Chains A and B, each alone.
Chain A
């Protein structure tokens, strides 16, 4: 039995130790905001925060999250940085199909939590693990800059 705190709420998970967090949260707990993209930490669609660290949940076993805090896209709006990132995403019209964007938002939030005013190079470095097949990269950059500015104003 694994006990994880997901978006502030404690859940008991009766699953094998090696089940990736992604499937435990999507299939067993039923929160489907986090997406499956590759299963091998290549695309970032499944990005969650584990104790504030961005992780690829498709390759992180449940056992690594036992007793820890996990934040998913469903909870990121409660974070002031996450909220501004979401707002910027809407304002800039980043999303096309939207499928990768939950992971993008999770990564961008983690970026701004660490580097409040990233330049383009820092954004490219931090966000290069998140693939967007629709090719929304330029708007992602714009939105991150916008969120950074708004957060600075706050």
Chain B
């Protein structure tokens, strides 16, 4: 059976891609050790080099010149709405002097040795790949120039690539890229010294105002391929009944009624793995059918006896009480400056508050889905994966195939937000495909599956206390963070947060306060906790930025001025001085925490919003700012609360300093989306548990924003980062400041203080 591919528009690279690089001496990937030795500072690698697989910039891996004149650029990062297929290709095209209209983007399959790191998360794609892709494009340009020079038998210094052709000015000769395709393929990659990057003033695509999307028309005409969209002859479709409580397993099941459903082909048990279950499937009973509907009906007819689980008692109400109690007492010491206890004892005034935020589900519009085909001992997969190389490795291990016999093609992702970094759903498809050699199997998660079995955002209680002297200066800051850790999916008995969770707005709070202490009391994990777009920054920004607003109100001061006073004078802080050794994986020397940049986004957002202006009755403006993913974002929301509690968000002004701006339109779109997502998690986002079971199941009870709740106007202000600043992240850092800005605006409008998310009916 031959794959039809008739609707697979997201052209994947062919397996013989490596043939193309033969004879050029390219070794392919730069392979770096995945395990950092954090203690040995001089050996530690940062940024893209610090990621497993590192970066690769070989043009023979990423660029192919076709004889028809088109240029194929390979994107090894997953497209999930951030526009990376377009943005990285623009970078290559610019350095390559290629015409965008003649550029095509091909999607890499998962292969870390060939492509370098492919983890599309952590707001890292452009941050880590801008320079490698520039050098890649520039090297490809040098190859074309060399090929033309060789053909004309002139010195390469006499020719220049420009706008999809190479020109020899002396003789007036020129030759198109397509005509050079064959000879360029045989021309070796130039040495590093021979690669000349363009001068930024010559950029045609990088940093330009343009609205481009390589997949734009495909996405809105039904031609784009997502995880469930590939169709094969005689393929089967499966849904899986998974344990209602995490840790429960199948004790027995009866499939007789399910097998009677018209279209149901087979019922198969999938084995789960006891916690810590990492990226393994939850286990359960799969119903395989000739169409998704039959599989769903078949699943409804299953009779399954589930075992008891150690998580049967997981209950959000009692768990919250336990977290808040833990936050009242000292916990694992994370950062300690001065003497907080003494300062609090001597304080003229003190204030404390505890903020709660529940679990939230990613709920990408595309629920998890994947297709697998096991044929002639080779397993081929098509999946919306944020980490195809990890997926490939886990799938290969699980089904017992060598890596070379396993291939993971990446489709478009219908949203990811961190969910699709975890390949549990892909492994399900792989396991089932093994049982049907030669036949493609699609696993489809329903929305209920997605909500019930997500790798949830953590749940958290953040307690803050501050003390002030007689002049109203902050003298002490005590912050306790209690939240089940993501480490729980990787190791047993984890109760404390990881460095990367702490470094998200907790220990790296850059305030100018002489006595500061941060503690992390422990709490056990009862569900699969995973990373959700901007991760622990969400509850931290909510707590810290709400708390500062409360402090300003207590002091009778303007929130913005009060906040800037806490930030203190402009300075660059080495994150290690704040005990943050993680620093989003970036070099602390290149990426200090810069309070001046934070101040600037606050100044910009407040100025653009008209901070301080008189508003009609019932309206209020709220501010929040947050540093995350080495990017600085401030948000000012203007809201109105109607009688009865209806919330209208009139304006959102967000100021962003993400370092150099490579594709401004996509930075804005990410911020717009972050704004809406932040509003959603603040207003209605909650997954709660009772008896170990998630209490929500679909969009009727796990509500996400609809168009009326979006701000009537969103303005994104891109702040000039100044010279010598490194690239920051874009996909995530817009989310954290939104919820506190909203809650602070609600306070300004109504006097109602929100310390518990979601807001839901607290305004009614």
Contacts and interface: CB of A to CB of B under 8 A. Distances in A.
A73 interface: yes
Given A38-B698, A93-B669, A140-B707, A99 B221 contact: no
A99 B364 contact: yes
Contacts of A65: none
Contacts of A136: 669, 672-673
Contacts of B687: none
A23 B290 CA distance: 11
Interface string B277-301: 0000000000000111100000000
B222 A40 contact: no
Contacts of A2: none
A98 B673 CA distance: 13
Contacts of A76: 221
Contact of A137 (B223, B415, B676): B676
A95 B231 contact: no
A131 B7 contact: no
A16 B224 CA distance: 29
A97 B412 contact: yes
A96 to B, nearest CB: 3
Given A16-B262, A124-B707, A133 B677 contact: yes
A63 to B, nearest CB: 13
Nearest to B83: A96
Contacts of A67: none
B122 interface: no
Interface in B382-439: 412-417
A137 B649 CA distance: 13
Interface residues of A, number: 62
A145 interface: no
Interface in B670-697: 670, 672-677, 680
Interface in A17-39: 19-20, 23-24, 26-28, 30-39
B698 A42 contact: yes
Given A133-B704, A135-B710, A97 B222 contact: no
A98 B707 contact: no
A32 B7 contact: yes
Contact of B444 (A36, A42, A91): A36
Nearest to B218: A98
A104 B237 CA distance: 26
A137 B228 CA distance: 25
A90 B710 contact: no
A139 interface: yes
Nearest to A86: B220
Contact of A132 (B212, B221, B365, B448): B365
B216 A138 contact: no
A93 B414 CA distance: 16
Contacts of A72: 222
Contacts of A35: 226, 365-366, 414
A28 B219 CA distance: 22
B79 to A, nearest CB: 8
A109 B223 CA distance: 18
A26 B444 CA distance: 13
Interface of A: 15-16, 19-20, 23-24, 26-28, 30-40, 42-43, 45, 72-74, 76-77, 86, 89-102, 105, 120, 123-124, 127-141
10 contacts: A16-B293, A35-B365, A39-B448, A40-B699, A43-B699, A97-B80, A105-B220, A130-B706, A132-B676, A141-B707
Across the A-B interface, give the 10 residue pairs with the lowest CB-CB distance, nearest first. A33-B222, A135-B676, A99-B414, A98-B219, A97-B81, A96-B81, A137-B710, A93-B211, A135-B673, A27-B291
Interface of B: 7, 79-83, 211-213, 215-226, 228-231, 237, 262, 290-293, 363-367, 412-417, 444, 446-448, 665, 669-670, 672-677, 680, 698-700, 704-708, 710-714
Given A135-B675, A138-B714, 8 more contacts: A27-B292, A33-B221, A37-B365, A39-B447, A86-B217, A98-B412, A135-B673, A135-B705
